[in-house]
A and B are shown apart, each in its own frame.
Chain A
Amino acid sequence: MKRRIISLLVVSSLIFVFIVFYKGLNKPSFYKPKSEISKIPQFFAKNFYSDEEIDSKKIFDEDKYYLFNIWASWCVPCKDEHLILSKLSKNQQLDIIGLNYKDKVTNAKKFLDELGDPYVKILLDQDGTISIEWGAIGVPETFLIYQNRIIKKFIGPLNENSIIEIQQIIK
């Protein structure tokens, strides 16, 4: 009887371990931070074109949707994403604000000259500290904002599906 119980215990614990590993190893290893920020962070940033210091309170203050996009000219996925941003920039209800992440301004300007400028405003984040305030882990990352609140966060480049998703929210 005792032996039976022990073998049953061993088999069931083996099955348990197998299930845990099977489920765990099938999970994507890419970690998405469980950010609790819903309100946009406060910060000061330099304007990309004029070097003037801008208060974040004055950026998202209108009654419209904003798309806050973190990008860099050295980031390859940002190039693909740029096409999507250009499409989205045609939407009148949406203002796209860019945050140029750890980039050389001359390279960034070249990037915009080549691919177009979908941004209403571009801010500079030369040491990456502003991105940390937003809870970002890299580039590109995009936040949909309405009334000073983050409605949706996109980690990685936007795609055609994101356009549909954003347009459905804005409607």
Chain B
Amino acid sequence: MKFIKLILILFTVFHFSSLSASEDKLYNKIVKNLRCLVCQGQSVYDSDTEFATSLKLVIKNKIQQGLSEKQIYNFLTEKYGEWILYDPKFNKNTYLLWLLPLLILLLSGVIISKKLIKFKK
């Protein structure tokens, strides 16, 4: 009886997740980068809504089918639009979003250096 129990425990411990370690890492990475569309300020990873649980299952299946991270993101943006990604892609709608901080940094650098030069003089 003890032996059966031990086997059962070992089985549940080692077969709890159907994904391998690297797949599991990828799964977590993807799920954390997805916005739960029916929740307020939660990622799919954090959410237990019907939508999020189904989405997690779909992503698990896609990883098992051998799809890459990029392919999975493409699949999801095709279905739900760019909004589902926390990390939006660089395109004509988002270039301002990506470049504005850089532009501000450069501009403030120029202003500060100008002031410093003036101050030194």
Q: A interface vs B, CB < 8 Å?
A: 31, 33-37, 102, 127-129, 131-135, 137-138
- Assembled-state Cα–Cα distance A65/B38 (Å): 30
A135 touches B79 (CB 8 A): yes
Q: Given A33-B84, A34-B83, A138–B50 Cβ distance below 8 Å?
A: yes
- Assembled-state Cα–Cα distance A36/B79 (Å): 6
Contacts of B26 in A (CB 8 A): none
Chain B: minimal CB distance from A123 (Å): 15
User: Nearest CB to that of B53 among chain A residues?
Assistant: A128
User: Nearest CB to that of A30 among chain B residues?
Assistant: B38
**Cβ-defined partner of B81 (8 Å) among A36, A127, A128, A129:** A36
- The size of the chain B interface, using a CB distance under 8 A, is 18
How many A-B pairs fall under 8 Å by CB?
Answer: 53
Ranked 7 nearest A-B pairs via Cβ = A128-B54, A34-B81, A135-B79, A33-B80, A132-B58, A137-B37, A129-B58
B interface secondary structure, majority: helix
Interface string of B73-85 (1 = CB under 8 A from A): 0000111111110
- Assembled-state Cα–Cα distance A102/B50 (Å): 8
- Assembled-state Cα–Cα distance A25/B98 (Å): 24
Q: B interface vs A, CB < 8 Å?
A: 37-38, 50-51, 53-55, 57-58, 61, 77-84
Contacts of A127 in B (CB 8 A): 54, 57
Chain B: minimal CB distance from A107 (Å): 15
Chain B: minimal CB distance from A44 (Å): 13
A31 touches B37 (CB 8 A): yes
Chain B: minimal CB distance from A74 (Å): 10
Q: Given A33-B80, A33-B81, A34-B83, A132–B55 Cβ distance below 8 Å?
A: yes
Chain B: minimal CB distance from A135 (Å): 4
